[in-house]
Structure 1
Amino acid sequence: MKKVSLYFENGLFLEAKSFGAEGTAVGEIVFNTSLTGYQEIVTDPSYAGQFVTFTMPEIGNVGCNEQDMESKGAHCKGIIVRSYQARPSNFRSEETLAELLEKENVLGITEIDTRFLTKMLRNEGSMMMVASTQIHDESELKKVLENSPRIEEINYIEQVSTKEPYVHTEARYNAQTFEYEKPVTSKKIIALDFGIKRNILNELTHAGMEVTVVPNSMSAAEIISKFKGKEIDGVFLSNGPGDPLILKEEQEKIKKLIDAKVPLFGICLGHQLLSIAHGYDTYKLKFGHHGGNHPVKNTATGTVEITAQNHNYNVPDNIVEVAEVTHMNLFDNTIEGLRYNDSPTMSVQHHPEASPGPHESAYIFTAFREML
């Protein structure tokens, strides 16, 4: 393992060991409390532009495989772990985590106190950092960080969105047969790709929807034409990376879809963009919600669901002026789900496809199909 040097915008300088790719990378550091699913996290496009600190100390134990990829590659700037296991033991393993990171040009950082980093982020909030296997001078790293754009200044969805439309043909993965189920569909939807996860697509098709994934650049006029021509029944707005407030074109597009009464369902970034399109700007949480253990209450049934989460931004409380709150986070009482009053539109902040995590929120996909 090579030496890697880290410099944080609060002035902290640390040294550790590297695995995976080499080089220099700048991004925002967050922490994730999931006990399992490191490959799903690494390949989630919503982490584009970020370093992920794992609170689970042992990472790499089960290796990586194609079936657990949430997208076609890895999108985070790097991962930070207490102890990396270079010799995985699992019958599904096809390559090590280090091999995946090297292939995807993602830094791996280990032999570092992740408890300390997590407490620092809890107390001071998410912050920018730089990590390098090439530069080890503190003043040089500081200069690199100061001259780099912040995550809220970069439109990462242009990097992670699909370039060409495609039809998703898989449904939910069956852990007993180790195969994907074949979908039986009754509705057709378009999924606007802001950084969509594979398992979200699996759950949409499992719930009975034929899904055509399209680039984030598809115009509102083309989508509305397909809806009025009965080529589609609704639109899904996907998860994705970065600050939703800078996505002006997407906001305007969604406003037009709302005015045209196109049925809409948003998850994570899609949830946030729907709020902004209704005139209610999002705000940034201190250190975000990243993990697989967040209790969310369904306000209609009183049921508490344990959810997977990955977001730094949240919708404001006064959105109740135009929408009914359907889900609440029991950690901090932030809004987790909405159904709007003026249009057939629903959204959730958490990830009901829950990979990693339980399946108790998967009914939300069925609710969308029923709304269609």
Structure 2
Amino acid sequence: MDCSDTAFGRYMTTDAVLVLEDGQVYVGAPYGATGSTFGEIVFSTGMTGYQETLTDPSYDRQIVVQTFPHIGNTGVNDDDPESSNIWVAGYVVREPSAITSNWRADGDLDDDLVAHGIVGISGIDTRKLVRHLRSAGVMRAGIFSADALLDPSTRALRSVSSLVQEVKATPQMQGRRLYDEVSVKQAYTVEPAGDFAGKEPLFTVVAVDLGLKLMTPRLMAERGCRLHVVPSSTTFDQIQALHPDGVFFSNGPGDPEQAQPMVDLLRKVLDAGYPFFGICFGNQLFGRALGFGTYKLKFGHRGANQPVKDMTTGKVEITTHNHGFAVDAPIGTTVSAPYDDGHFGKVFVSHIDLNDNVVEGLQCVDIPAFSVQYHPEAAAGPHDAAYLFDRFVDLMTSARREQHNA
């Protein structure tokens, strides 16, 4: 159930309590680990793929609400994670599955959340909660259960005001730099796979890991690419030393305004003429490198059912999203990139979200560079946009041909 501030106190130490920074309170049952956790509370509209959601580094420091009411029925397995860690700060579901029933399952979701120390809550009205977040916007929140509900000195149940104050004392997402904490610490290489396994790579790509999902290296490898995945601390000289045919910037968490070192690195990549492809956070960094601004969305796009129009073909794709920030660029016209009076030439918005006209992609005219805001590498989601990896390969092919003819 949910309750107002005046009704608060109708809970027990066996309950879990979700507290929003605006004072709304929801009382339910503990799910996963017990204790307390804090983060920006967001909602994901995906009907499947909860394991991919939990392990997506872009959800770092966020409490995720699943709008689909029944979660956990297919359990967890070792093949579906998008990283080696569960990155969500907390987890909110309406009804956890009482059983696990799937031939691929290696365990239960509840046990997995406990093993990773993920504090969650179940049994609340997630529909009401999401309607509130759509109206008021995403905000800070906290989940409290077990001893976290008790005053440490008196062992009495804590007041709602003390819980709200604890939530308000936590950092807001806007202004946070998070990509370093989710980036790989040591570089590694992924060799060509599928039809290209065991063969010389067609291209070498350097992927700057800002919260990379594992599906990206797989899709690159299946197209004959050798992928060098490098940390966010990598310098331009280190990128050059790998002799790439193209450079990729991944998805990731946090505020792109706090990522100036990555913007500076990307400008060097573009100046050097390397073909560039960016996804999600990489799109926001690309926008800022070109001189556009970025801004915080009211409640963001998260889920596997967002309609996006490719402005270059007119095709509409159903796509997977996970972003709370967007690029502020003019739609429907080709303009000079604002940075340094058109230093990077002309650029246009290549993709838009048909729900709200948010910029979902950028493409340069005079240099080999493009990006998308959504996730063409989507696992547990539609694969309508997988062609973008082919577009990147085509870009590298054209650049190599031009170098050969020069």
- SS of residue paired to 1:352: coil
Report the equivalent of 2:239. Answer: 223
Q: 1:311 to 1:183 in 2, by over 3 A?
A: farther
> C-alpha root-mean-square deviation of aligned residues, in Å?
1.9
Could you tell me how far apart the structure 2 residues matched to 1:169 and 1:40 are?
A: 23
Q: 1:181 to 1:49 in 2, by over 3 A?
A: farther
| 2:340 maps to 1:318 | no
- SS of residue paired to 2:293: coil
Could you tell me how far apart the structure 1 residues matched to 2:35 and 2:211 are?
A: 25
Could you tell me how far apart the structure 2 residues matched to 1:294 and 1:88 are?
A: 29
State which of 297, 318, 321 in structure 2 corresponds to 1:309: 321
State which of 142, 145, 148 in structure 2 corresponds to 1:135: 148
Contact 1:190 1:236 in 2 (8 A): yes
Could you tell me how far apart the structure 1 residues matched to 2:178 and 2:28 are?
A: 28
- SS of residue paired to 1:284: strand
State which of 224, 227, 244 in structure 2 corresponds to 1:232: 244
State which of 260, 284, 304 in structure 1 corresponds to 2:272: 260
Report the equivalent of 1:166. Answer: 188
| 2:352 maps to 1:328 | yes
- SS of residue paired to 1:217: coil
Letter in 2 for 1:339: Q
| 2:119 maps to 1:126 | no
| 2:365 maps to 1:341 | yes
Report the equivalent of 1:69. Answer: 81
Q: Deviations over 1:148-176 (max 9, x none)?
A: 2222343221211100011124757xxxx
Kindly state the Cα deviation for residue 347 of structure 1 after the two structures are TM-superposed.
0.3
Contact 2:17 2:121 in 1 (8 A): no
Could you tell me how far apart the structure 2 residues matched to 1:200 and 1:135 are?
A: 39
Q: 1:171 to 1:29 in 2, by over 3 A?
A: farther
| 2:179 maps to 1:157 | yes
| 2:265 maps to 1:249 | no
Q: 1:70 to 1:2 in 2, by over 3 A?
A: farther
Kindly state the Cα deviation for residue 303 of structure 1 after the two structures are TM-superposed.
1.3
Kindly state the Cα deviation for residue 85 of structure 1 after the two structures are TM-superposed.
1.0
Report the equivalent of 2:344. Answer: none
State which of 260, 269, 274 in structure 1 corresponds to 2:286: 274
- In structure 1, runs of 5+ residues without a counterpart are 173-179
Report the equivalent of 2:305. Answer: 293
- SS of residue paired to 2:174: helix
Letter in 1 for 2:64: V
Q: Deviations over 1:12-63 (max 9, x none)?
A: 1222111212221110011111110000000000000111111100000000
The structure with the larger Rg is: 2
Could you tell me how far apart the structure 2 residues matched to 1:183 and 1:315 are?
A: 40
- SS of residue paired to 2:257: helix
Q: Deviations over 1:224-259 (max 9, x none)?
A: 343xxxx21111100001111111211111122122
Letter in 1 for 2:377: E
Kindly state the Cα deviation for residue 357 of structure 1 after the two structures are TM-superposed.
1.5
Choose 181-190 or 73-82, whichever is displaced more: 181-190
TM-score (norm. length: structure 1): 0.93
Report the equivalent of 1:48. Answer: 60
Contact 2:17 2:144 in 1 (8 A): yes
Kindly state the Cα deviation for residue 338 of structure 1 after the two structures are TM-superposed.
1.5
Could you tell me how far apart the structure 2 residues matched to 1:283 and 1:353 are?
A: 24
Q: Deviations over 1:316-349 (max 9, x none)?
A: 1338523122222111112212211342111001
Could you tell me how far apart the structure 2 residues matched to 1:46 and 1:284 are?
A: 15
Report the equivalent of 2:153. Answer: none
Kindly state the Cα deviation for residue 95 of structure 1 after the two structures are TM-superposed.
1.1
Could you tell me how far apart the structure 2 residues matched to 1:78 and 1:12 are?
A: 17
Could you tell me how far apart the structure 1 residues matched to 2:26 and 2:193 are?
A: 44
Kindly state the Cα deviation for residue 205 of structure 1 after the two structures are TM-superposed.
1.4
Contact 1:183 1:205 in 2 (8 A): no
Q: Percent identity?
A: 40
Choose 163-172 or 297-306, whichever is displaced more: 163-172
Letter in 2 for 1:77: A
Kindly state the Cα deviation for residue 146 of structure 1 after the two structures are TM-superposed.
2.2
Choose 308-317 or 252-261, whichever is displaced more: 252-261
Could you tell me how far apart the structure 2 residues matched to 1:225 and 1:205 are?
A: 21
Kindly state the Cα deviation for residue 306 of structure 1 after the two structures are TM-superposed.
0.6
Q: 1:23 to 1:244 in 2, by over 3 A?
A: same
Report the equivalent of 2:202. Answer: 186
Kindly state the Cα deviation for residue 142 of structure 1 after the two structures are TM-superposed.
1.7
